[in-house]
Amino acid sequence: MSGTIEGTMGSENSMQTLGPGSRGPAVADVRAALRSLGLLPPADGVPDDVGAEVYDRATELAVRHFQQVRGLSVDGRVGEETYRALSEARWSLGDRLLHHDPERPVRGDDVTNLQERLLELGYDAGRADGIFGPETETGLRTFQRDYGLTADGTCGPATLRALRQLGRKVTGGRPQLLRQSASFVDSGPHLIGRRIVVDPGHGGDDPGCTHGETTEADLVLDLASRIEGQLAAAGATVYLTRGRHQDPTPAERTGFANDARADLFVSLHLEAHGSEHARGVASYYYGTGSGTSSTVGEKFADLVRREVTARTGMLDLGGHPKTWDLLRMTRMPAVRLDCGYLTHPVDRLLLLDARVRSSVASAVLAAVQRLFLPADADPPTGTFVLPGRV
Ligand SMILES: [Zn+2]
């Protein structure tokens, strides 16, 4: 039973979303995963017919709980992302051999755990994202060499023993993340040579959220073009992930940013809500809310949201860690900015005003600039104007 989810996920790129009322073998897989994580009570014996298992209220609550603690969007339904997270959560360090497979990268909580241990010991294993990539392999090989193990880049019993013996004696560093911060400051205050990927959400046949004729897809594309213009004028090299008629998948968007070797990735969305009182600007960065996070991403999420709210008067809804694919699969600091509610009358009016959209673009420029400035030269929020620009 334990291999079922992994097996199903490997072969499929798209799956039907499961939710209340769904039934069948896929529901049985999900419930088995939730049971093994202790989120559902154990089954009484083996079910006679897994096809008859139903996505009941208890399943929904367990899924919501799982989504909450994993930093996923909490909707109580199991789409691709939640399904994969469930399958990854079932692996503990030592359950299997870990190594770099370029064809089909190994993913799981055991990989996160390995990466975190290497990082704590001062080895650059890449971001602790639960994906065993080339950086993790390099970090692991260096560790193995230093500790007199066979430097084969595979985490097996001998390597695990060494890691366990070292235990948590060495802590408090997250040196690689600190280094990541430092190298950003070292790179100097100018944006020349910086590559920034701006990702307008949705597009093509997917309008995103809408209000009358107004669509999120159009507005964020307009915002992205304004941001592109301002950043380019400041010397940065800017790429947009889509044009008007395209709607790339999250994998295509993040692949594009990785291929472009971007220094920073900014995804733009707007929000909508059933209540017309919901309003404001939120930002998201990679993290689980329990330790694993991207410090540069978190800092940029904070800067950009504060700049936008200071310049537009929109409500500040804070910055939040998420494990969304978009934030996780990007190899550079990545932030998603949800820039106001189309369903809120004032937010909407602001977003429909081209001058306000230009202010948002200036806010993003200022935030990018502040990210590269040393802390003591950091100007107050809402005031920074690039030299030579108005
Ligand atoms: Zn959106």
CA of 41 to the centre of ligand 1 (A): 36
Backbone dihedral region of 217: left (phi > 0), alpha (psi from -120 to 50 degrees) or beta?
alpha
**Does residue 172 have a pLDDT over 80?**
no
| Cα 246 to middle of ligand 1, angstroms | 14
Taking the C-alpha atoms of 281, 180, 168 and 293 in order, what is their torsion angle to the nearest 10 degrees?
20
Average model confidence (pLDDT) across the chain: 83
Report the half-sphere exposure of 31 (CA within 13 A, side-chain side): 25
Express each pLDDT in 90-99 by its tens digit: 888 888 889 9
Question: Which pLDDT score, from 0 to 100, does residue 178 have?
Answer: 47
pLDDT value of residue 375:
54
CA 343 – ligand 1 centroid, Å: 13
pLDDT of residue 380: 62
CA atoms within 13 A on the CB side of 203: 21
- The alpha carbon of 267 and the centre of ligand 1 are apart by a number of angstroms equal to 9
What pLDDT is recorded for position 11? 41
Q: Are 276 and 343 in contact (CB under 8 A)?
A: yes
Residue 45 vs residue 160, higher pLDDT = 160
Nearest to 210 by CA among 109, 342, 26: 342
Alpha-helix residue ranges (DSSP H) falling in 92-174: 109-120, 134-146, 157-166
Predicted confidence at residue 182, as pLDDT, reads 47
Q: How far apart are CA 249 and CA 254, in angstroms?
A: 9
CA of 45 to the centre of ligand 1 (A): 44
Q: How high is the pLDDT of residue 289?
A: 67
Asked if 289 and 253 count as a contact pair (C-beta separation under 8 A), the reply is no
CA angle 160, 162, 167 (to 5 degrees): 90
pLDDT grade for 309, boundaries at 50, 70 and 90: very high
Specify the amino acid at residue 16: Q
Total-model pTM: 0.62
Query: 322 alpha carbon to ligand 1 midpoint, in Å?
Result: 15
Confidence of residue 167 (pLDDT cuts 50, 70, 90): low
- pLDDT at 93 (0 to 100): 84
Which carries the bigger pLDDT value, residue 325 or residue 291? 325
**More confident call, 178 vs 109:** 109
> What is the pLDDT at residue 122?
78
Lowest pLDDT segment from 8-22, 55-69, 271-285, 374-388: 374-388
- 8 A C-beta contact, residue 77 and residue 93: no
The answer to whether residue 137 scores a pLDDT higher than 50 is yes
Residue 209 Cα, ligand 1 centroid: separation in angstroms?
Answer: 6
56 vs 66: CA distance, rounded Å = 15
The residue-averaged pLDDT of 45-73 equals: 81
Helix (H, G, I), strand (E, B) or coil at 309: helix
Give 198's Cβ-side CA count (13 Å radius). 26
Q: Is the pLDDT of residue 247 over 60?
A: yes
Ordered alpha helix ranges (H), the chain:
4-11, 25-36, 57-70, 80-89, 109-120, 134-146, 157-166, 175-186, 216-233, 250-259, 295-312, 325-328, 345-351, 354-372
pLDDT band of 4, cuts 50, 70, 90: very low
Distance (Å, rounded) from C-alpha 52 to C-alpha 82?
A: 22
